[in-house]
Amino acid sequence: MSENVFLVPIDPENFEKTVRSPVDLTDYSERPEPLADADEARLWAVDDDSGSGSTFERMSEGDLLLFYHDDEYVATGRIGTTFEDDDRWVSGTFWTAFPATRVYTVESFRAVSVPKRGVNRIFDYSDAYTPGFMRVADSRVTTQLASIESALARYTQRND
């Protein structure tokens, strides 16, 4: 069972297109092999400009994803399939100004609305800390991933 947590910045326009709602892949016969048998998928990627790829290489099926924009976490999910999309089919087909070869599917998607400071407290970061795309250090993940998801969902329900 995976225990990794990734903090993932988003571009709202691209996120709306491929994560908030799954993409219907049946219209695309020339899609990459890892998506060949899927009728639909929620797709996201690591921006080609973000680092050496070592963080992406640590992503495993079931890892927790916390998506954020500005000062708010807007969704949670779990990693499904990860793959190298050398032709940039996903980014070229679906996204605007987001070149990406390191792609992953998002499972168990749930919209949330949690201020950055709330998530920062879970992982013992300062309230004002703003991460880039990153894996949370093992020493900062002190509870089960499902508990983190539940806490964020409860916060969202209480504050809607």
**Which two three-digit tokens encode residue 135?**
């894996």
Range of the domain at 9: 5-158
pLDDT grade for 52, boundaries at 50, 70 and 90: low
Q: In angstroms, rounded to a whole number, what is the distance separating the alpha carbons of residues 137 and 9? A: 17
What residues are paired with 157 via a beta bridge? Answer: none
- Considering the chain, what percentage of its residues have pLDDT values greater than 70? 98
pLDDT grade for 22, boundaries at 50, 70 and 90: very high
Q: In angstroms, rounded to a whole number, what is the distance separating the alpha carbons of residues 128 and 32? A: 39
Q: How many domains does the chain have?
A: 1
- Number of H helices and E strands in the chain, helices first, is 5, 8
CB 101 within 8 A of CB 48: yes
- What is the chain's percent helix, strand, coil content, to nearest 5? 30, 30, 40
**Which two three-digit tokens encode residue 111?**
């919209």
Q: Which amino acid is at 87?
A: D
CB 14 within 8 A of CB 50: no
- Considering the chain, what percentage of its residues have pLDDT values greater than 90? 85
- Express each pLDDT in 55-66 by its tens digit: 899 999 999 999
Read off the CATH number of the domain in which 149 is found. 3.10.590.10
